[in-house]
Amino acid sequence: MGALRHYLDAEHQLCCAHALRELQAVADAAGPDAGWCWATQAADALVAMQRLVAEAVTAARDAVDAGALAEQVHRYRSAVQIGITQTAARSDAVMRKHHALARRLRDREDDYLRFTRDWRIPPDNNGSERDIRMIKLRQKISGCLRTLAGARQFCAIRSYLSTAAKHGLHFFETLVMLAEGRPWLPAVH
């Protein structure tokens, strides 16, 4: 994500799946005797917002239930603010890490909750990670990609095919079109 900050005009969706894993780690560190934990409430609110969007999309509605969404956003913000307060001492490395998480969840709220406003954007980057997994698998099987040029070519082809698949085309059809000199290009909006 660090490199993406250089794109000043771009809007980002930070991965909620990663945030949920980090929040689970905070809850685990609090232990079973902690009772209530700010991280659990923040995670529950994130999951509830994802469910609200999924339900609205499935029902072909134009918007999420505004009241239900506002309630979950309030729960999220309250939990995050409590997390900042509870970890403000930053007395050890774990508490500093939890404090940084709570501050990031507050400071980058728009980037974590963008999926609630723009339904074209998934709340996680699992699809993107799946797209690059192939190159990692190729590295493990063959031991490497022999040249930087070969790696770039592989990535370009993989990216092209992945984008086409996301638009409903099959790999073979896309490659045939490309070989025939009729490359598929996504529509410009």
| Gap between the Cα atoms of 99 and 105, Å rounded | 10
Q: Is 14 exposed, middle or buried (0-12, 13-18, 19+ CB in 10 A)?
A: buried
Residue-level pLDDT at 186? 79
Higher pLDDT, 122 or 154: 122
Residues 84-133: pLDDT tens digits? Answer: 999 999 899 999 999 999 999 999 999 999 999 998 888 987 665 666 56
| Gap between the Cα atoms of 163 and 128, Å rounded | 10
Rounded to the nearest 10°, the torsion over CA 10, 74, 100, 84 is 150
pLDDT surpasses 90 at 83:
yes
| Gap between the Cα atoms of 34 and 31, Å rounded | 6
Residue-level pLDDT at 146? 67
Q: Which residue has the tokens 């923040």?
A: 42
Question: Which among 116, 109, 119 has a CA at the least distance from the CA of 79?
Answer: 109
| Gap between the Cα atoms of 62 and 181, Å rounded | 40
DSSP category for residue 187 = P
Question: Which among 133, 165, 135 has a CA at the least distance from the CA of 150?
Answer: 135
Indicate the pTM of the whole model.
0.69
* Percent of the residues in the chain that have a pLDDT greater than 90, as a whole number: 50
What is the tally of helices (H) and strands (E) in the chain? 8, 0
